[in-house]
A = this chain, B = another copy of it.
Amino acid sequence: MPRPDRTNPPVDEPRLETGRPDFGLSRLQLDAYSGEQLYRQLYRMLRAAILSGDLAEGEAIPSENQLRDQFGIARTTVRNAMSLLVSEGLVQQVRGRGTIVSHRPISHSIWNFGSFTELARRQGQRPVTRVLEHQVEHGELHLVRARGLANGEAVTWLNMDTSWLSLELYPGLERYDFAEQSLYETLRRDYGRHPMRSELLLTVVPPSERLRDVFAGAHVPGYLCASGDVLDGDDRLVERTSIVYSPAVQMKFATRWGRSTAQLPSGRDAGEQT
């Protein structure tokens, strides 16, 4: 993918000599011609060392300059690897002190209820779906899925998504396995229904046992829940849905008060915030 040069090793210039002072991940090398980016190789290497416990929580990993020297790469490249670890919460950087293994839980900010897979992609993480319920009731498929991000073995569950889908509209839909494929992709591909917009109502739901179980949450008074209809371009109902968000999701949104406010006559308080 990236760093395209040296996909074919030039003849001279070994480029990556090793043999400098060792620490933890000593004898390892980076392969400049493997096709995998250098920073990704380094990232995987450090990550493995952390997850395997070779680098314990609270310990400092080798400094950026050490890694630069050991592997003969630029510090920028080292920092690219570091930033992946940081964004995964595996590590914390403190100026003057070093880079410390931390396993800190990270929060995921979502602007305006954006896409789930988009969130995943952004952090270079793999979206994961677990089907909690899958049953037919009153001619509808009732589908409950937990959705989250995979970091290696660990999964951070971000929401629990309940869908009601008309089997009259989608005959045979109950035979799909939505742990493996996207619901919306299926509706588009096999049923020609294109989700376009939604009308949602925000509520607070109390922490049920299942929710606490899925989110492995601390004690929260309740969870944010958005429920309502998903419609297609012709305003036909695609599904009814109800999405409960983990506290790990930061639900952000922006509002604008039209330019109008300044221009309104008199003292009408059109721009007044609720």
Segment 242-274 of A: residues with Cβ below 8 Å from B: 243, 247, 250-258, 261-262, 267-274
User: Which residues of chain B are near A118, meaning CB under 8 Å?
Assistant: 89, 92, 102, 269-270, 272
CA distance in complex: A188, B272 (Å): 11
Query: Is A106's CB within 8 Å of the partner chain B?
Result: yes
Pair A110/B206 contact, Cβ less than 8 Å:
no
Contact of A106 among B115, B220, B241, B253 (CB under 8 A): B253
Contact of A111 among B76, B90, B113, B123 (CB under 8 A): B90
> What is the chain B residue whose CB lies nearest that of A147?
B274
> What is the chain B residue whose CB lies nearest that of A207?
B221
Contact of A274 among B104, B222, B243, B252 (CB under 8 A): B243
> What is the chain B residue whose CB lies nearest that of A223?
B204
Distance in angstroms from A61 CB to nearest chain B CB is: 15
User: Which residues of chain B are near A273, meaning CB under 8 Å?
Assistant: 115-116, 161, 184, 195, 198, 230, 241, 243
Contact indicator per residue, chain A 204-242, by CB within 8 Å of chain B (1) or not (0): 111100000000000011111000101000000000010
Query: Is A51's CB within 8 Å of the partner chain B?
Result: yes
CA distance in complex: A196, B260 (Å): 10
User: Which residues of chain B are near A252, meaning CB under 8 Å?
Assistant: 199-202, 228
Once A122-B87, A253-B200 are accepted as A-B contacts, the answer to whether A104 and B111 lie under 8 Å apart by CB is: yes
Distance in angstroms from A128 CB to nearest chain B CB is: 13
Contact of A113 among B119, B194, B207, B255 (CB under 8 A): B255
Question: Which A residues contact B (CB, under 8 angstroms)?
Answer: 2, 51-53, 76, 83, 86-90, 92, 95, 102-119, 121-123, 147, 158-159, 161, 182-185, 188-189, 194-207, 220-224, 228, 230, 241, 243, 247, 250-258, 261-262, 267-274
Pair A268/B121 contact, Cβ less than 8 Å:
yes
> What is the chain B residue whose CB lies nearest that of A116?
B274
User: Which residues of chain B are near A115, meaning CB under 8 Å?
Assistant: 257, 261, 269-274
Q: A89-B114, A105-B112, A199-B252 are in contact. List 19 more A-B contacts (CB 8 A).
A: A52-B254, A89-B110, A103-B112, A103-B254, A104-B112, A110-B274, A113-B274, A117-B269, A184-B269, A184-B272, A194-B261, A195-B271, A196-B261, A201-B250, A204-B221, A204-B222, A207-B221, A224-B224, A243-B274
> What is the chain B residue whose CB lies nearest that of A91?
B122
Once A256-B53, A257-B196 are accepted as A-B contacts, the answer to whether A119 and B222 lie under 8 Å apart by CB is: no
Contact of A119 among B103, B111, B274 (CB under 8 A): B274
